[in-house]
Amino acid sequence: MKTTNKLKPLDPLPIEFDEEAHTYRWLPTNEVMGTSVTKVLSVHKTERQLANIEKYKHVWAPRGLHVHASIEHKLKGLPFQLDPAYAEWTAPLLAHPFWSTFEPIAIEHRMCDLRRGIGGSCDMLGYDGLTGKLVLADVKTQGSARYGPYSTDAQMGGYQSMLLDRHRLVVDECLTIWSRPGETLIGDPQNPEECLEEWEQTYDAWELLQEEI
């Protein structure tokens, strides 16, 4: 499907995000969301995977924050001080031709699902200038060019569910952008409906786990 009537930039929602605690607060009622898309996705990770994520957080977290900040500032047309320590990631990412035709309408957009008490932030939403499609995109950093892609369908579905809930908005396509040292790759287009289905299955598994705890 190709979007014909382009939307204006999305207004920020009244959400406060606590970076350190990774919590979302819906300001109209002061309600703190009970969980996040990231936490729900952890249901499919093993204890060893979760332990490794925490063990190496000091490596991947600052790298991810810097890389995401670099592309956020680029898309907003704002100056940004690049850290030479992450040049292997930022240089190919910022130079990728995808951005020359991408028209963002939301960047680092905070969202929530009030019914389920879930918060989340999508990296970017915008139009692919070559296809005219409304694209939900996410940047993933990886520590080595040898690493392969993994499925982000459930995550994309989680963001879509909140776009539907808060904006009544349906996207045409999902894309994962892989930022690795020395290269940036655009993943294959992901079907939005399949992503939503994957999210619902993941959420059901997470909810079942909460009942067992």
Query: Which tokens go with 177?
Result: 């952008």
Architecture of domain 15-212: Alpha-Beta Complex (3.90)
pLDDT, residue 209, reads 86
Tell me the residue type at 31: E
- For residue 83, list its beta bridge partners: none
Mean pLDDT of the chain: 94
- What is the Cα–Cα distance from 170 to 174, expressed in whole angstroms? 11
pLDDT, residue 151, reads 96
Kindly tell me if the per-residue pLDDT of 201 is higher than 50.
Answer: yes
Kindly tell me if the per-residue pLDDT of 211 is higher than 90.
Answer: no
With b for 16 or more beta-carbon neighbours within 10 A and e for fewer, the 91-101 pattern comes to: bbbbebebeee
- Can you give the residue ranges of every domain in the chain? 15-212
Residue with the bigger pLDDT between 69 and 46: it is: 69
Q: Where are the alpha helices (DSSP H) in the chain?
A: 37-41, 47-55, 57-76, 87-95, 98-101, 153-167, 192-212
- Which has the closest alpha carbon to 182: 96, 87, 51, 102? 87
For 3, 193, 208, the CA distances from 205, given in Å and listed in that order, are: 33, 19, 5
Kindly tell me if the per-residue pLDDT of 106 is higher than 70.
Answer: yes
pTM above 0.75, yes or no: yes
